[in-house]
Structure 1
Amino acid sequence: MAVILVRHGRSTANTASILAGRTPGVGLDDTGRKQAAELPARLGDRGAELVAVARSPLQRCAETVAPLVAEWDLPEIVVDDLAEVDYGQWTNRPLAELAKEPLWQTVQRQPSAAVFPGGEAMAAMAARAVGAIRDLDARHGGEDGSRLWVACTHGDIIKAVIADAMGLHLDGFQRIVVEPASLSVVRYHPRQTVVHTVNNTAKLSLPAPGAELAGTAVGGATGTDDERGA
């Protein structure tokens, strides 16, 4: 029925306020490991409906989904296009130091124009991330978005995917908050893409199997048992 976008749990780089980027060997800290262990319970009985787990090739994502894959013996797909932004010369530098760089303001206010020195353009990141998620959903989400699957990746990747699903220009994606170990849910449907959840850090609630996400209710959700809104 949807893709559950999982940001990796808190990493050692998050704790140190370092921009790890694609640096190998950056794993979860103690809090992140606890968040990973809690992930299956946060999905509840809906976890048994998962058909696949796709993830970034980086260690912190592998560690985040490991309990989920083990709980339901799920196929695990490593997808290079779900990797973290290539921050180039910004990699492994303290965030407090980077905030003083002129490019920082571009990243915050006009990310579509930002190109990291020796690294990747934010626009290129968004294109490959959105392309990867939509391609994976075409293969694992079912023709009408009827199947449930997980993509574990990084904050900016998830924000770009949510912005695309909302029809939001990349320059507005910094308005979206995606915390470590948060869950966001998007359903791609032939008629309409629906953003169901953003930045959930508790137990995830999803509509009952078969509920229609593609036709949102006029006036908003009603809260009734026969709800068909998102």
Structure 2
Amino acid sequence: MATVILVRHGRTTANASGLLAGRTPGVSLDETGRAQAAAAGERLAVVPLVGVVSSPLKRCRETAQFILDRQKGPHAPVDAGLTECDYGQWQGQTLADLAKEDLWKVVQSQPSAVTFPGGESMAAMQARSVAAIRRHDAAFEAEHGPGAVWAAVSHGDIIKSVLADALGMHLDMFQRIDVGPASISIVRYGTGRPTVHASNTDAGDLSWLAAVQAHGDAPVGGGAGHAAPPAQEA
């Protein structure tokens, strides 16, 4: 299958003030978030993306634009399957206040049992986000071949749930995964199983993705890894 680059949106005004934005409309990147998104776009500039798909929320569309500004071809359609979890009555509250709720402990220890009051269950969140990623991945491979690389711009819990699925982890373990603002994670869906090539990175060369090849079995012993990036001239 193709390779998907999972990009979380950059830091927002809500992140900086400790609010759970959820699906609140109009939440934008702050100055730090714009710098983070620009850095992610710069890292991905060496990778000819066949497509960029974004959550419909503003902070993701803004982040996607920083990526598109360094690409030549793709545009960024939105997909509601990649939107933020519906936190229901939790939306708009401070994390400090939410941490006092009994449900907070369940979110931390047994997210598969959580349905946010007036909102979405975390299991439903994972199911629809994984389905969206796999659907787009299959479509990009069908159109561009197994070497296709594309990007999905989404939210922290969404990307964590996709990574947990790719790693074969139960949703109850997904809080062990960290996904920072504007971080880049990489998953390739093979015929037998997904392979996670990177998680929560905010630095490092990605030029090897421009020549990614289809693969089958995992190399015993770890293999030779990716080719080193070309040396920079002084």
TM-score, normalisation: structure 2? 0.90
Equivalent residue letter for 1:158: I
Equivalent residue letter for 1:222: A
Distance (whole Å) between structure 2 residues aligned to residue 224 and residue 191 of structure 1: 21
Larger CA deviation: 160-169 vs 209-218: 209-218
Q: Which residue of 2 aligns with 1:124?
A: 124
Equivalent residue letter for 1:71: R
Q: Look up the SS of the partner of 1:4 in the other structure.
A: strand
Query: RMSD value over aligned CA atoms?
Result: 1.8
Distance (whole Å) between structure 1 residues aligned to residue 227 and residue 53 of structure 2: 32
Per-residue CA distance 1:172-199 (angstroms, 9 max, x = gap): 1110010000000000121331110000
Aligned length in residues: 224
Distance (whole Å) between structure 1 residues aligned to residue 68 and residue 141 of structure 2: 18
Distance (whole Å) between structure 2 residues aligned to residue 91 and residue 145 of structure 1: 39
Q: Look up the SS of the partner of 2:69 in the other structure.
A: helix
Question: How far is the alpha carbon of 1:224 from its aligned partner?
Answer: 7.2
> What stretches of structure 1 of length at least 5 have no aligned partner?
none
Question: How far is the alpha carbon of 1:215 from its aligned partner?
Answer: 2.6
Equivalent residue letter for 1:88: G
Question: How far is the alpha carbon of 1:117 from its aligned partner?
Answer: 0.3
Distance (whole Å) between structure 2 residues aligned to residue 223 and residue 55 of structure 1: 30
Q: Which residue of 1 aligns with 2:41?
A: 40
Identity of aligned residues (%): 52
Asked if residue 179 in structure 1 is aligned to residue 180 in structure 2, the reply is yes
Equivalent residue letter for 1:102: D
Q: Which residue of 2 aligns with 1:217?
A: 219
Q: Which residue of 2 aligns with 1:99?
A: 99
Distance (whole Å) between structure 2 residues aligned to residue 99 and residue 51 of structure 1: 41
Q: Which residue of 2 aligns with 1:196?
A: 197
Residues 51 and 75 of structure 1 are in contact (CA less than 8 Å); yes or no, is this contact kept in structure 2?
A: no
Distance (whole Å) between structure 1 residues aligned to residue 223 and residue 157 of structure 2: 29
Q: Look up the SS of the partner of 2:217 in the other structure.
A: coil
> What stretches of structure 2 of length at least 5 have no aligned partner?
229-234
Runs of 4+ in 1 over 4 A off after TM superposition: 223-226
Q: Which residue of 1 aligns with 2:108?
A: 108
Q: Which residue of 1 aligns with 2:60?
A: 61
5 Å-filtered alignment, 1:131-150, equals 131-142=131-142, 145-150=146-151
Question: How far is the alpha carbon of 1:201 from its aligned partner?
Answer: 0.8
Equivalent residue letter for 1:26: V
Residues 41 and 203 of structure 1 are in contact (CA less than 8 Å); yes or no, is this contact kept in structure 2?
A: no
